[in-house]
């Protein structure tokens, strides 16, 4: 049984990750691969409880940046060991909505925590489990803000409040800058996609990027 492939999606709020990850999953399934969709934080029963605490809980207003960092990586440590490693060993394709690049961008650059400490905590959480390919959907700040406003109106009431989306403009500027630095530092792994284009064009660009990698894990 060949080893699976680990693909992560990254980007600022409203970049289109949720839409594109589902479309890519459909493409990959259509040619015979087994696909597993995951999200961070979350993806396990423990992780989903942590996700609620981080994003939607009424009691999270006083959460410090340090607590946020540790909770993110607690969820990550669980999903890596409970799901990701066994699934890769079984030859599955994993598509994950966010992974550790989000922590570097949001908690490192956005919250302005020490980047070396952030890196050390991430490494403890993931060990050798790293993405094979990361798709960074880049959108301008104004596109992100407009998509965020539109999305809010369609969410269930209990999910409309998102603690991260309450951050100020400077925070998101730092996050966007952080993603730019991360992408520049790892061009082989991180593929930058213009997420402001129409959905079908973004989908086609992603497929062009991922399709050549798929034969490396074989077919079932």
Phi, psi dihedrals of residue 198, rounded to the nearest 5°: -55, 150
What tokens does 19 get? Answer: 């839409």
How much is the pLDDT for 165? Answer: 80
What pTM does this model have? 0.90
Task: Name the pLDDT band for 2 (thresholds 50, 70, 90).
Answer: low
Which strands, in side-by-side order, build the sheet including 133-138?
35-39, 93-97, 5-10, 133-138, 190-194
How much is the pLDDT for 14? Answer: 84
C-alpha 80/C-alpha 86 separation (Å) is: 9
C-alpha 6/C-alpha 37 separation (Å) is: 10
Query: What interhelical angle do 141-152 and 169-185 show, nearest 10?
Result: 120
Stretch 30-49: mean pLDDT: 96
- CATH number of the domain bearing residue 187: 3.40.50.300
Total domains in the chain come to 1
Question: pLDDT exceeding 70 applies to what percent of the chain?
Answer: 88
Is the pLDDT confidence value at 219 over 50? no
How much is the pLDDT for 141? Answer: 72
pLDDT tens-digit map of 114-165: 999 999 999 999 999 999 999 999 998 776 666 566 655 565 655 556 888 8
Mean per-residue pLDDT over the chain, rounded: 91
Is the pLDDT confidence value at 25 over 60? yes
SS3 219: coil
Contact by Cβ (8 Å): 109, 177:
yes
Q: Which domain holds residue 74?
A: 5-217
């Amino acid at each position: 049984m060949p080893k699976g492939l680990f693909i992560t999606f990254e980007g600022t709020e409203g970049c289109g990750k949720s839409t594109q990850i589902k479309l890519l999953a459909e493409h990959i399934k259509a040619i015979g691969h087994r696909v597993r969709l995951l999200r961070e934080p979350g993806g396990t029963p423990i992780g989903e409880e942590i996700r609620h605490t981080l994003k939607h809980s009424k009691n999270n207003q006083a959460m410090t940046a340090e607590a946020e960092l540790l909770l993110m990586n607690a969820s990550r440590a669980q999903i890596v060991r409970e799901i990701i490693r066994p699934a890769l060993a079984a030859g599955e394709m994993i598509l994950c909505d966010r992974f550790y690049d989000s922590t570097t961008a949001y908690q490192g650059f956005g919250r302005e925590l020490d980047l070396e400490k952030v890196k050390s905590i991430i490494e403890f959480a993931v060990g050798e489990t790293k993405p094979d390919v990361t798709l960074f959907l880049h959108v301008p700040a104004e596109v992100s803000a407009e998509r965020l406003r539109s999305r809010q109106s369609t969410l269930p009431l209990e999910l409309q409040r998102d603690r991260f989306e309450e951050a100020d403009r400077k925070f998101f500027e730092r996050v966007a800058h952080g993603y730019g630095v991360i992408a520049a530092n790892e061009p082989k792994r991180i593929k930058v996609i213009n997420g402001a284009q129409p959905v079908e064009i973004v989908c086609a660009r992603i497929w062009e990027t991922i399709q050549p990698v798929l034969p490396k894990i074989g077919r079932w």
